[in-house]
Amino acid sequence: MFISSAFAQTAPAAAAGGDMQSTLMSMLPLLLMFAVLYFVMIRPQMKKQKEHRTMIEALAKGDEIVTAGGLLGKVSKIGDSNISVEIASGVEVQMQRSAVVQVLPKGSLK
């Protein structure tokens, strides 16, 4: 009678250590999914944003660009947050710098 009650008292203590290990093992797939998500989606997106920011900061007068709306033109004036783009002879539009998607090689527009 005394042996069975003593055994019953030690059993929960042993199970408590096992719960900690099973908790860590159940969180492992979640941590692995987050790591994969970071390297597959978040990190490349941050790199792309950095490249876009560098391109926008390097804009200069005379650069030929493509805007987010699909307009092709030549940069005629540069401000702090906006630029003037000549889209046709004598036609200029103002837009935000962030609307520039691509800088074309010189001579692309004729």
Give pTM, 2 decimals: 0.67
The per-residue pLDDT for range 27-64, each reduced to its tens digit, is: 999 999 999 999 999 999 999 999 999 999 999 999 99
The per-residue pLDDT for range 90-110, each reduced to its tens digit, is: 999 999 999 999 999 998 887
Under the phi-then-psi rule, with left for phi > 0, alpha for psi from -120 to 50, and beta for the rest, what region is 102?
Answer: beta
Instruction: State the Cα–Cα distance between residues 76 and 87, nearest whole angstrom.
Output: 10
Instruction: State the Cα–Cα distance between residues 39 and 46, nearest whole angstrom.
Output: 11
Instruction: State the Cα–Cα distance between residues 54 and 92, nearest whole angstrom.
Output: 24
End-to-end Cα, the chain, rounded Å: 100
